[in-house]
Chains A and B, each alone.
Chain A
Amino acid sequence: MCRLFALTSRDPVSPMRAIDALNVMKEGHDGSGVGLFLSGLGGPWEELKEYPILSGIFTEDGLVQVFDYMAKKGFQSKFSVTFKPDIEPPVGTPKRGTYASIAYKVPDDWKGLTKEQADRNLVQTRLNLRAMGEEGGDIMVFSFWPDTIMIKEVGDPLAIAEYLKLDREELYARHILAQGRQNTNYAINLYACHPFFIEGISTMTNGENTAFVPIREYLMSRGVTGYQGYQSDSEVFTHIAHFATRKLGLDISSYKHVITPMNDEEMADHPDREFLVSLKRSCRKLIIDGPNCVIGCLPDGSMFMAQDRKKLRPGVVGGNPELGIYGFSSEICGLNAAIPDRDRTKDFQPMHLDTAIVGPDCREVLQCSQKDPLRLRH
């Protein structure tokens, strides 16, 4: 089963901290892969916040194709961090070529576009590149978004981290999602590796989403650019978070009302009962069923954790407000390894009604229960 670890910190930290936590939790995963989402980037990226960063893996040919394509579309590359390992990859990891993160200036003719249109164009660009890569196998793109880098690879997380030198300063970030293990239910495919990403929203999940097929069908029928792919049953969690926050304009504390609505008794004396009933009915297709723990990060840098209603998967949030660092872990040992210096009595394990949120300021764990009155909607 997947192991999940997320860090959110006021100052950029090395992704190795998250990888080490994964390694401590190794008992539960087979070391078959790793996925990383980094945002709130430090180092050289601090100055480049508004430029979308294309991250992926490219062969020589692939890089040429990407440069051609992007130039033709009017993108100008501003800065890039590429990494081409010169040592032999660890056992089980294929030799792939260049791992690159390239920041672009968007085409001038995007100036008049609304934010929504521009965002959609970014997603479309990523999808176009992905589609190009699927033909020849030369391009793999995981994200194309400002202040965001994604890395995915098959193999043992620690070995991969050493192989890809993830301790590099260019990869220091304030918000890190890390997941250990490749897809086991379906074919091994880098796109199936968590975390998943769309328009600044990234989530990762453990457990199996048994409602995958109906949810996938529903999302695909929404006509939203980017709701596609679905190599993994967990990808839908990201898209539901996107749908709930971006398309429906709900607050992230409502995410849980969408994926795991309360039952009638729990809802009976809720101040927002009427709203919740209608939300439950219209979003019935998005109800998840399965022992899942979802950890995600939003465009503003806030991080959250929610469990399914049965809460068969543990998950814990804890940290140190003085140091301004919080961890979200699927196992408590991971948290102990990454942030040993914290008040453990303040650790929070969200139960079946809770969502734990840590804002970008990393000062406290906000505990929302579904029983609480709703927070203001956007």
Chain B
Amino acid sequence: MLSERPITPSTLSRKDLPWQIKWDINTCTKCGRCTSVCPVNAIELGVFRKRDVKPPMGLSAKPTTEFSTFYGIRQRTDPAYACIGCAMCNMVCPNNAIEPTRQYDSTTLQFQNNRGGQPRTRGGRRNNSESLLDQLKFIRISMLTDPALDAGRHEFEMRTLLGRVLSPEAELQCFRDNGWKPPVREIYPLVIGGMSFGALSPNMWEGLQMGVAYLNEELNMPVRMCTGEGGCPPRLLRSRFLKYVILQIASGYFGWDEIIHAIPDMKEDPCAIEIKYGQGAKPGDGGLLMWYKVNKLIAAIRGVPKGVSLPSPPTHQTKYSIEEAVAKMIQSMSMAWGFRVPVYPKISASSTSLAVLNNLVRNPYAAGLAIDGEDGGTGAAYNVSMNHMGHPIASNLRDCYKALCVAGAQNEIPLIAGGGIGKHGNLAANAGALIMLGASMVQIGKYVMQAGAGCLGSEKDRCNVCNIGVCPKGITSQDPRVYRRLDPEKVAERVVDFYLSFDTELRKVFAPLGRSTSLPVGMSDALGISDKDAADRLDIKYVI
């Protein structure tokens, strides 16, 4: 490298990069696998020239200079090719000669990754490791007057209701009059949240569907999976597995055509319809399905030309107001399936969640409300949206639940909470806490990717290249060369594994609290937190 190389505003040294490649010349076999697998071309094969000065003994002979060349790995310092720490290079290296290491004191890249006047977009997560859900403790352990239950031996009822549940009075009236009753589904309280067919690779999708089908058909766990916006593969729409699927239809109507065409051929009704108005990770903004991922199949399903970026609109332009949108879309979706399918909106948690809920209470067709908190996952979005927008789920959910209590309609409109559940692996504890704060069920996305398919992303901005179609694990890529890395059968196996262990863990939480015959929705007396303000805000016990 020339000593007088030009220094521009975005010239970085290796030291400036958050991820550093450690490469060991002694163990490297020079196979070149690492460079070929690197999703962002952060490393390249390099030819290094080395000058060795050899001073001989004595004074008479002159020192000699020897030049040698050797081959090795060079980490690029161009911000566009910065290493993302995915460690794929290490995964393919036969000798562990190469690995990325995190350098925590380097923040320089953050100032450089908006090149060409384009703000950074990324897939992945919020990159904030705080988690209020992890701070919640279950404090109401039954010990004396009520011996704790045995999680392994007692009967446990772990199902929840999705759909508008009538009040006891209305239900009896309806039974007497043989009137129309809103459809209600009994499902498992942990739902795989909306991840679209465009965002996920076909292998990932297939794996999830297989896992869900297995859980339902072999293990009798009524697990449901949401499709995410942008339609659903036509074959699934016409298959009997549709009953395990919650079809998401976004306010932008992507993929709706495909669904509507399939309605006459549907053998089963879908489990429910989720109308997406917002996502937790990018509230008020649409998702970005970037051109890299819009291949022929995705283009066909969504009804767009191939290879164009698809920023989905936050809400459809024809919508005049959220009230109108919610009312009309719920009505028309319900009609499409003859009022046999629960239809509910999904919104991002925000200061206006209560207003939406208010609309729903008075809408007899509204089957629930999904609220997605700030930590909610996403295919892709702008950095700024992901890091700074949104409302934490716990307090938002609590407000909504309490509003329902005041209206006397708690659990009549099931609340579905999402956003940051199992962020640090504590899936059952987080889900249990949200149920006790008032959620009838919870939905997860990132956890499924991480546990089900080994997604490498972390809260420390690791990987997070889901948007550009190079997902090193093949989870979020539409490129067959990449996604064939992922074995759908294994994904299915992992999904089943973590569902079963979730189930056991949830029992281990509920049993000592003395609950087993119904989900402890709203059992807020079981929760405590060592943060006074949080305790006051959530109306739970303050414990230190």
Contacts and interface: CB of A to CB of B under 8 A. Distances in A.
A217 B405 contact: yes
Contact of A213 (B169, B518, B525): B525
A111 to B, nearest CB: 29
B167 A287 contact: no
- The binding surface of chain B is classed by DSSP as loop
Nearest to A247: B169
B146 A290 contact: yes
Nearest to A286: B168
A281 B184 contact: yes
Interface string A185-219: 10000000000000000000001101111100110
Contacts of A221: 405-410
Interface string A259-286: 0100100000000001100110111110
A310 interface: yes
Contact of A281 (B165, B513, B522, B524): B165
A1 B405 contact: no
A278 B180 CA distance: 13
A313 to B, nearest CB: 10
A11 interface: no
A218 to B, nearest CB: 6
A290 B140 CA distance: 13
Contact of A185 (B145, B161, B168, B174): B145
A309 B405 contact: no
Given A207-B146, A208-B142, A310-B149, A289 B169 contact: no
Interface in B147-170: 147, 149, 154-155, 157, 161, 165-170
A223 interface: yes
B175 interface: yes
B306 interface: no
A124 interface: no
* Most chain A CB within a 10 A radius of its CB, from B142, B171, B520, B521: B171
A200 to B, nearest CB: 20
A263 B157 CA distance: 8
A291 interface: yes
Interface in B484-528: 513-518, 520-525
Contacts of A290: 142, 146, 514
A284 B411 contact: yes
Nearest to A222: B408
A274 B181 CA distance: 12
B308 interface: no
Contacts of B140: 210
A287 B520 CA distance: 10
Contacts of B517: 260, 287-289, 308-310
B142 A210 contact: yes
B364 to A, nearest CB: 14
Size range of the chain A interface in the assembly:
35 or more
Contacts of A217: 405, 410, 522
Interface residues of B, number: 41
A248 B407 contact: no
A278 B181 contact: yes
A260 B518 CA distance: 9
Contacts of B516: 289, 310
A278 B171 contact: yes
B355 interface: no
B45 interface: no
A184 B142 CA distance: 13
Nearest to A214: B522
Nearest to A243: B168
Nearest to A2: B145
A285 B165 CA distance: 11
A312 interface: yes
Contact of B167 (A1, A207, A249, A282): A282
A289 B521 contact: no
Interface string B467-492: 00000000000000000000000000
Interface string B121-134: 00000000000000
A212 B142 CA distance: 13
B169 A211 contact: no
B322 interface: no
Contacts of A281: 161, 165, 171, 184
A222 B520 CA distance: 20
A284 B514 contact: no
B20 to A, nearest CB: 52
A213 B524 contact: yes
12 contacts: A1-B145, A214-B520, A214-B523, A221-B407, A221-B409, A247-B169, A260-B517, A275-B175, A281-B161, A281-B184, A284-B411, A290-B514
Given A210-B515, A282-B166, 18 more contacts: A208-B142, A208-B146, A208-B514, A211-B520, A218-B405, A218-B410, A260-B517, A263-B155, A279-B168, A279-B171, A284-B411, A289-B517, A290-B142, A290-B146, A290-B514, A310-B149, A310-B155, A310-B516
